[in-house]
Protein backbone atom coordinates (compact mmCIF):
# COMPACT_ATOMS: atom_id res chain seq x y z
CA UNK A 1 0.00 0.00 0.00
CA UNK A 2 1.34 3.52 -0.67
CA UNK A 3 1.69 5.57 2.50
CA UNK A 4 -1.41 7.63 3.35
CA UNK A 5 -0.89 11.41 3.35
CA UNK A 6 -1.04 12.35 7.04
CA UNK A 7 -1.26 16.18 6.99
CA UNK A 8 -3.93 17.46 4.54
CA UNK A 9 -1.63 20.41 3.82
CA UNK A 10 0.87 17.90 2.38
CA UNK A 11 -1.60 17.33 -0.44
CA UNK A 12 -0.88 20.82 -1.77
CA UNK A 13 2.54 21.60 -3.21
CA UNK A 14 3.06 25.21 -4.26
CA UNK A 15 5.42 25.70 -7.21
CA UNK A 16 7.81 28.53 -6.34
CA UNK A 17 8.21 29.59 -9.96
CA UNK A 18 9.79 32.93 -9.14
CA UNK A 19 12.92 34.67 -10.37
CA UNK A 20 14.70 35.38 -7.09
CA UNK A 21 15.14 34.04 -3.58
CA UNK A 22 13.81 37.37 -2.26
CA UNK A 23 10.55 36.91 -4.17
CA UNK A 24 10.29 33.31 -2.91
CA UNK A 25 10.95 34.37 0.70
CA UNK A 26 8.26 36.99 0.45
CA UNK A 27 5.70 34.52 -0.97
CA UNK A 28 6.51 31.87 1.66
CA UNK A 29 6.09 34.48 4.36
CA UNK A 30 2.71 35.59 2.93
CA UNK A 31 1.54 31.97 2.79
CA UNK A 32 2.62 31.36 6.40
CA UNK A 33 1.28 28.14 7.90
CA UNK A 34 -1.27 27.68 5.11
CA UNK A 35 1.32 25.91 2.96
CA UNK A 36 4.01 23.49 4.10
CA UNK A 37 5.23 21.87 0.86
CA UNK A 38 7.09 23.78 -1.86
CA UNK A 39 8.39 22.86 -5.29
CA UNK A 40 11.54 24.40 -6.72
CA UNK A 41 12.10 24.13 -10.46
CA UNK A 42 14.40 25.69 -13.05
CA UNK A 43 13.55 29.36 -12.52
CA UNK A 44 14.27 29.60 -8.79
CA UNK A 45 16.70 26.68 -8.73
CA UNK A 46 19.01 28.43 -11.20
CA UNK A 47 18.72 31.68 -9.23
CA UNK A 48 20.06 30.46 -5.87
CA UNK A 49 17.04 28.32 -5.02
CA UNK A 50 18.93 25.32 -3.71
CA UNK A 51 20.27 27.37 -0.80
CA UNK A 52 16.71 28.52 -0.17
CA UNK A 53 15.58 24.88 -0.30
CA UNK A 54 18.05 24.15 2.50
CA UNK A 55 16.56 26.99 4.58
CA UNK A 56 13.00 25.77 4.00
CA UNK A 57 13.97 22.25 5.06
CA UNK A 58 15.75 23.58 8.17
CA UNK A 59 12.52 25.44 8.96
CA UNK A 60 10.56 22.17 8.87
CA UNK A 61 9.06 22.62 5.40
CA UNK A 62 8.98 19.91 2.74
CA UNK A 63 10.74 20.55 -0.54
CA UNK A 64 10.25 19.00 -3.96
CA UNK A 65 13.15 19.56 -6.38
CA UNK A 66 11.67 19.48 -9.87
CA UNK A 67 14.62 19.43 -12.26
CA UNK A 68 13.27 16.46 -14.27
CA UNK A 69 16.66 14.81 -14.55
CA UNK A 70 17.57 12.90 -17.69
CA UNK A 71 21.21 12.07 -18.45
CA UNK A 72 23.53 9.09 -18.48
CA UNK A 73 22.95 6.81 -15.50
CA UNK A 74 26.09 7.75 -13.57
CA UNK A 75 25.27 11.46 -13.76
CA UNK A 76 21.65 10.92 -12.71
CA UNK A 77 22.61 8.70 -9.78
CA UNK A 78 25.18 11.21 -8.49
CA UNK A 79 22.84 14.16 -8.96
CA UNK A 80 20.11 12.36 -7.06
CA UNK A 81 22.57 11.50 -4.26
CA UNK A 82 23.21 15.26 -3.89
CA UNK A 83 19.45 15.95 -3.70
CA UNK A 84 19.12 13.22 -1.07
CA UNK A 85 21.91 14.89 0.96
CA UNK A 86 20.07 18.22 0.65
CA UNK A 87 17.09 16.69 2.46
CA UNK A 88 14.55 17.05 -0.35
CA UNK A 89 11.35 15.03 0.01
CA UNK A 90 10.64 14.57 -3.73
CA UNK A 91 12.73 14.82 -6.90
CA UNK A 92 11.74 14.25 -10.50
CA UNK A 93 13.32 12.34 -13.38
CA UNK A 94 11.94 11.69 -16.84
CA UNK A 95 10.33 8.24 -17.02
CA UNK A 96 13.01 6.52 -19.07
CA UNK A 97 13.96 3.12 -17.65
CA UNK A 98 17.73 3.72 -17.47
CA UNK A 99 17.15 7.11 -15.82
CA UNK A 100 14.60 5.77 -13.31
CA UNK A 101 16.89 2.88 -12.32
CA UNK A 102 19.84 5.24 -11.84
CA UNK A 103 17.77 7.61 -9.72
CA UNK A 104 16.51 4.81 -7.47
CA UNK A 105 20.10 3.65 -7.03
CA UNK A 106 21.36 7.19 -6.37
CA UNK A 107 18.94 7.93 -3.55
CA UNK A 108 20.29 4.96 -1.56
CA UNK A 109 18.57 4.48 1.79
CA UNK A 110 17.52 8.14 2.07
CA UNK A 111 13.82 9.09 2.48
CA UNK A 112 13.93 11.03 -0.84
CA UNK A 113 11.12 9.83 -3.12
CA UNK A 114 11.80 9.66 -6.84
CA UNK A 115 8.91 10.70 -9.08
CA UNK A 116 8.88 9.74 -12.75
CA UNK A 117 7.41 12.31 -15.14
CA UNK A 118 5.31 10.47 -17.71
CA UNK A 119 4.02 12.92 -20.36
CA UNK A 120 4.23 16.64 -19.55
CA UNK A 121 0.89 18.28 -18.82
CA UNK A 122 1.61 20.91 -21.49
CA UNK A 123 1.61 18.16 -24.15
CA UNK A 124 -1.34 16.98 -26.17
CA UNK A 125 -1.39 14.37 -28.93
CA UNK A 126 0.00 16.85 -31.48
CA UNK A 127 2.96 17.80 -29.25
CA UNK A 128 3.83 14.16 -28.62
CA UNK A 129 3.60 13.39 -32.32
CA UNK A 130 5.78 16.41 -33.17
CA UNK A 131 8.38 15.08 -30.71
CA UNK A 132 8.54 11.84 -32.73
CA UNK A 133 6.27 9.52 -30.77
CA UNK A 134 3.70 7.49 -32.71
CA UNK A 135 1.80 6.34 -29.61
CA UNK A 136 -1.01 8.40 -28.08
CA UNK A 137 -0.69 10.28 -24.78
CA UNK A 138 -2.68 7.56 -23.00
CA UNK A 139 -0.55 4.75 -24.49
CA UNK A 140 2.69 6.55 -23.66
CA UNK A 141 1.60 7.24 -20.08
CA UNK A 142 0.52 3.59 -19.66
CA UNK A 143 3.82 2.26 -21.02
CA UNK A 144 5.89 4.56 -18.80
CA UNK A 145 3.86 3.75 -15.69
CA UNK A 146 4.27 0.00 -16.34
CA UNK A 147 8.04 0.48 -16.66
CA UNK A 148 8.15 2.69 -13.55
CA UNK A 149 6.20 0.11 -11.58
CA UNK A 150 8.53 -2.70 -12.65
CA UNK A 151 11.49 -0.62 -11.42
CA UNK A 152 9.73 0.08 -8.11
CA UNK A 153 9.62 3.86 -8.52
CA UNK A 154 8.34 5.92 -5.56
CA UNK A 155 5.79 7.92 -7.51
CA UNK A 156 4.48 9.26 -10.79
CA UNK A 157 3.93 12.77 -12.12
CA UNK A 158 1.02 12.85 -14.54
CA UNK A 159 -1.87 15.02 -15.60
CA UNK A 160 -4.87 14.97 -13.27
CA UNK A 161 -6.84 13.65 -16.22
CA UNK A 162 -4.55 10.57 -16.21
CA UNK A 163 -4.64 9.97 -12.44
CA UNK A 164 -7.33 7.29 -12.38
CA UNK A 165 -5.74 5.18 -15.12
CA UNK A 166 -2.29 5.71 -13.58
CA UNK A 167 -3.50 4.42 -10.21
CA UNK A 168 -4.98 1.34 -11.89
CA UNK A 169 -1.71 0.65 -13.72
CA UNK A 170 0.60 1.55 -10.82
CA UNK A 171 -1.16 -0.50 -8.19
CA UNK A 172 -1.57 0.63 -4.59
CA UNK A 173 2.11 1.48 -4.03
CA UNK A 174 3.52 4.82 -5.20
CA UNK A 175 2.42 8.45 -4.97
CA UNK A 176 0.52 10.18 -7.76
CA UNK A 177 1.48 13.84 -8.11
CA UNK A 178 -0.43 16.03 -10.53
CA UNK A 179 0.47 19.45 -11.90
CA UNK A 180 -1.95 20.92 -14.47
CA UNK A 181 -4.34 21.86 -11.66
CA UNK A 182 -6.65 24.77 -12.37
CA UNK A 183 -9.42 25.97 -10.04
CA UNK A 184 -12.57 26.88 -11.97
CA UNK A 185 -12.18 30.20 -13.75
CA UNK A 186 -8.38 30.31 -13.63
CA UNK A 187 -6.27 30.69 -16.73
CA UNK A 188 -4.89 27.43 -18.18
CA UNK A 189 -1.81 29.21 -19.54
CA UNK A 190 0.35 26.67 -21.40
CA UNK A 191 -1.20 23.67 -19.62
CA UNK A 192 -3.22 21.40 -21.92
CA UNK A 193 -4.31 18.44 -19.75
CA UNK A 194 -5.92 20.07 -16.71
CA UNK A 195 -8.51 19.52 -14.00
CA UNK A 196 -9.80 21.32 -10.92
CA UNK A 197 -8.36 20.47 -7.48
CA UNK A 198 -11.62 18.66 -6.65
CA UNK A 199 -11.50 16.53 -9.81
CA UNK A 200 -7.79 15.78 -9.41
CA UNK A 201 -8.24 14.45 -5.87
CA UNK A 202 -11.36 12.51 -6.83
CA UNK A 203 -9.40 10.93 -9.70
CA UNK A 204 -6.85 9.64 -7.19
CA UNK A 205 -4.09 12.25 -7.00
CA UNK A 206 -2.17 12.16 -3.71
CA UNK A 207 -0.54 15.57 -4.14
CA UNK A 208 -1.48 18.55 -6.32
CA UNK A 209 1.17 20.92 -7.68
CA UNK A 210 -0.20 24.43 -8.08
CA UNK A 211 1.87 27.33 -9.39
CA UNK A 212 0.39 30.35 -11.15
CA UNK A 213 -3.15 30.12 -9.70
CA UNK A 214 -1.55 30.77 -6.27
CA UNK A 215 1.77 32.47 -7.05
CA UNK A 216 0.26 35.05 -9.44
CA UNK A 217 -2.84 35.66 -7.33
CA UNK A 218 -3.25 39.09 -5.71
CA UNK A 219 -3.96 37.17 -2.48
CA UNK A 220 -1.87 33.98 -2.58
CA UNK A 221 -2.90 32.81 0.90
CA UNK A 222 -6.61 33.09 0.03
CA UNK A 223 -5.99 31.25 -3.26
CA UNK A 224 -4.14 28.48 -1.38
CA UNK A 225 -6.94 28.22 1.21
CA UNK A 226 -9.48 27.90 -1.61
CA UNK A 227 -7.49 25.01 -3.13
CA UNK A 228 -7.21 23.35 0.31
CA UNK A 229 -10.97 23.72 0.80
CA UNK A 230 -11.58 21.99 -2.54
CA UNK A 231 -9.18 19.21 -1.56
CA UNK A 232 -11.01 18.77 1.77
CA UNK A 233 -14.37 18.70 -0.02
CA UNK A 234 -13.10 16.05 -2.45
CA UNK A 235 -11.85 13.92 0.43
CA UNK A 236 -15.04 14.17 2.50
O1 LIG B 1 4.06 17.53 -16.43
C2 LIG B 1 4.41 18.48 -15.71
C3 LIG B 1 5.49 18.39 -14.83
C4 LIG B 1 5.80 19.47 -14.04
N5 LIG B 1 5.10 20.61 -14.11
C6 LIG B 1 5.50 21.74 -13.22
O7 LIG B 1 4.41 22.05 -12.34
C8 LIG B 1 4.27 23.45 -12.19
C9 LIG B 1 2.88 23.86 -12.65
O10 LIG B 1 2.76 25.26 -12.57
P11 LIG B 1 1.42 26.03 -12.99
O12 LIG B 1 1.82 27.47 -12.88
O13 LIG B 1 0.37 25.63 -11.96
O14 LIG B 1 1.05 25.62 -14.38
C15 LIG B 1 5.39 24.09 -12.99
O16 LIG B 1 6.44 24.39 -12.08
C17 LIG B 1 5.84 23.01 -13.96
O18 LIG B 1 7.23 23.07 -14.21
C19 LIG B 1 4.05 20.71 -14.97
O20 LIG B 1 3.37 21.75 -15.05
N21 LIG B 1 3.72 19.63 -15.74
Q: Whose CA is nearest to atom 18 of ligand 1?
A: 41
CB 122 within 8 A of CB 137: no
d(CA 79, CA 143): 25
∠ CA(90), CA(96), CA(100), 5° rounding?
Answer: 40
pTM of the model: 0.96
User: How many Cα atoms within 13 Å fall on the side-chain side of residue 178?
Assistant: 30
- In degrees and rounded to multiples of 5, residue 115 shows phi and psi of -110, 130
Using N-to-C axis directions, what is the helix angle for 50-58 and 21-31, rounded to 10°? 30
Tell me which of 3.20.20.70, 3.50.50.100, 3.40.309.10, 3.40.50.720 is the CATH number of domain 8-235.
3.20.20.70
What is the mean predicted confidence (pLDDT) over 42-62? 98
Mean pLDDT of the chain: 96
Which residue would you say has higher pLDDT here, 120 or 6?
120
Give the rounded percent of residues in the chain with a pLDDT score beyond 70: 97
Separation of CA 100 and ligand 1 centre (Å): 20
33 is catalytic: no
- Cβ–Cβ under 8 Å, residues 175 and 154: yes
Active site residue 62: no
Is 34 annotated among the ligand-binding residues? no
Residues within a 6 A CB radius of ligand 1: 15, 17, 41, 66, 117, 120-121, 157, 179-180, 189, 191, 209-212
| Ligand 1, atom 7: closest residue by C-alpha | 179
Alpha-helical regions (H) of 87-219: 97-106, 125-130, 137-151, 163-170, 197-202, 212-215
More confident residue, 2 or 10: 10
The region that residue 102 occupies, defined by phi over 0 for left and psi between -120 and 50 for alpha, beta otherwise, is alpha
pLDDT in tens, 162-210: 999 999 999 999 999 999 999 999 999 999 999 999 999 999 999 999 9
Report yes or no: 192 and 205 within 8 Å, Cβ to Cβ. no
- Give 215's pLDDT tier (boundaries 50, 70, 90): very high
Point out the catalytic residue in the list 66, 154, 162, 206: 66
Cα 232 to Cα 32, 151, 175, 199, distances in angstroms: 19, 33, 18, 12
Q: Is 162 annotated as ligand-binding?
A: no
Break the chain into its structural domains and give their ranges: 8-235
Instruction: Quick: pLDDT tens for 116-134.
Output: 999 999 999 999 999 999 9
Summarize the confidence of residues 214-223 as an average pLDDT.
98
Amino acid sequence: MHAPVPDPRDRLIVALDLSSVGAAESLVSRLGDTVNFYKIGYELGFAGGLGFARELIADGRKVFIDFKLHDIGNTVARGVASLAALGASFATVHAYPQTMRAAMEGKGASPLRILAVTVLTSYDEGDLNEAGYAASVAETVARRVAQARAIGIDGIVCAPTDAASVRAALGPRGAIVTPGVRPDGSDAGDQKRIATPFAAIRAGADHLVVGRPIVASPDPAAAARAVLAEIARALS
